[in-house]
């Protein structure tokens, strides 16, 4: 297998590359579920450098590596690391990348993963960089859509925080490889940045902008909801104005397509009613699990390990 040296963004990935990773994930799913075992990563070390809080990304990478027979080293909290003494990210990467075979980096600054790749002696996997990219989330989102709905001829609504939501930014570009119709549903203050909308249209992608989920809910195959992220707002007053403006309830989805699937990168706050969890439309907890086989496939691809 030809390894990928770094995974920084899915924006430039071909459909063939995306499909290859999704097919690998499907083969690895029985191992992710614990139904089969393997030691194909025996002797390999994965370093986790998380400068922002994380549950699903961090733990799913840990699970993925351990299920493959590899091991983990973890920086732990920023306060307990040399970062608290003023060490630069570049120097941290120079050191840690020599300890491990690959490094997963999450950082609040957009572009941090790309910068880290310039100083690293091991592959860098972007675990999320500010409001920029989150490529492994994008790949697990694609996998969820493939397993729970369809990728070809998809009609999808991306809803909530489209301005600051890095998961949505990455997913838009990946969906453009499959010719999806993309409905962008958000408060006016949180619309997808114009540069991304223009780029999608230049790729001949059908883009529909709406400000109410009622406008699209009866047409879409997948509804991808995101929370209004307080930590992404430079202005707290702006957050307070829009935080409760969009919510998925049982009443909202009464007239939706029978096979509608609702996704969410999690964590949720109040944007999806708990009552929706019990419906056949809820796919977000499956989505969280699918992060394990997808990240297993990514590790195999990055480290050139055949399955």
Q: Binding site membership for L-aspartate: which residues?
A: 85, 166, 227
Give CA–CA dist 20/73, Å, rounded. 28
Q: What share of the chain is helix, strand, coil (3-state, %, to 5)?
A: 40, 15, 45
Strand boundaries in 178-290, DSSP class E:
181-185, 207-210, 222-225, 261-263
- Give the annotated binding-site residues: 56-57, 85, 106, 134, 137, 166, 227, 266-267
Q: How far, in Å, CA of 112 to CA of 86, rounded?
A: 16
- The angle that helices 56-67 and 15-32 make with each other, rounded to 10 degrees, is 70
d(C-alpha 294, C-alpha 129), whole Å: 19
Q: CA 122, CA 31: separation in Å to the nearest integer? A: 25
> Which residues sit in the known binding site for carbamoyl phosphate?
56-57, 106, 134, 137, 266-267
Non-local (6+) Cβ contacts of 303 within 8 A are: 3, 41, 44, 101, 102, 123
Phi, psi values for residue 16, rounded to 5° = -65, -40
- Tell me the pairing of strands 45-50 and 102-107: parallel
Please answer whether residues 213 and 272 qualify as being in contact, where contact means their C-beta atoms are separated by less than 8 angstroms.
no
Q: What is the rounded distance in angstroms from the CA atom of residue 126 to the CA atom of residue 33?
A: 24
């Amino acid at each position: 297998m030809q390894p990928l040296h770094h995974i920084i963004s899915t924006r430039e990935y071909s459909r063939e590359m995306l499909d290859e990773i999704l097919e690998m994930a499907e083969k690895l799913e029985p191992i992710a579920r614990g139904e089969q075992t393997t030691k194909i990563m025996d002797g390999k070390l994965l370093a986790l450098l998380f400068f922002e809080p994380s549950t699903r990304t961090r733990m799913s990478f840990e699970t993925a590596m351990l299920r493959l027979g590899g091991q983990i080293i973890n920086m732990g909290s920023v306060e307990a690391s040399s970062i608290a003494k003023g060490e630069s990210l570049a120097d941290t990467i120079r050191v840690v990348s020599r300890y491990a075979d690959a490094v997963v980096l999450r950082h609040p600054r957009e572009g941090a993963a790309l910068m880290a790749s310039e100083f690293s002696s091991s592959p860098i996997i972007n675990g999320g960089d500010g409001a920029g990219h989150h490529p492994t989330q994008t790949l697990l989102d694609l996998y969820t859509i493939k397993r729970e709905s369809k990728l070809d001829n998809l009609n999808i609504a991306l809803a909530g925080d489209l301005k600051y939501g890095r998961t949505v930014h990455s997913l838009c570009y990946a969906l453009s490889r499959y010719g999806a119709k993309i409905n962008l549903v958000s408060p006016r203050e949180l619309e997808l940045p114009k540069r991304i909308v223009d780029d999608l249209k230049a790729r001949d992608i059908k883009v529909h902008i709406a400000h109410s989920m009622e406008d699209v809910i009866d047409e879409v195959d997948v509804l991808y909801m995101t929370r209004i992220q307080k930590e992404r707002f430079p202005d707290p007053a702006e957050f307070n104005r829009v935080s409760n403006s969009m919510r998925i309830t049982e009443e909202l989805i009464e007239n939706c397509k029978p096979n509608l699937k609702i996704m969410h990168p999690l964590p949720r706050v109040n944007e999806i009613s708990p009552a929706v969890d019990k419906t056949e439309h809820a796919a977000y907890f499956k989505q969280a699990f699918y992060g394990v086989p997808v990240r297993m496939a990514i590790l195999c691809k990055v480290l050139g390990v055949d399955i």
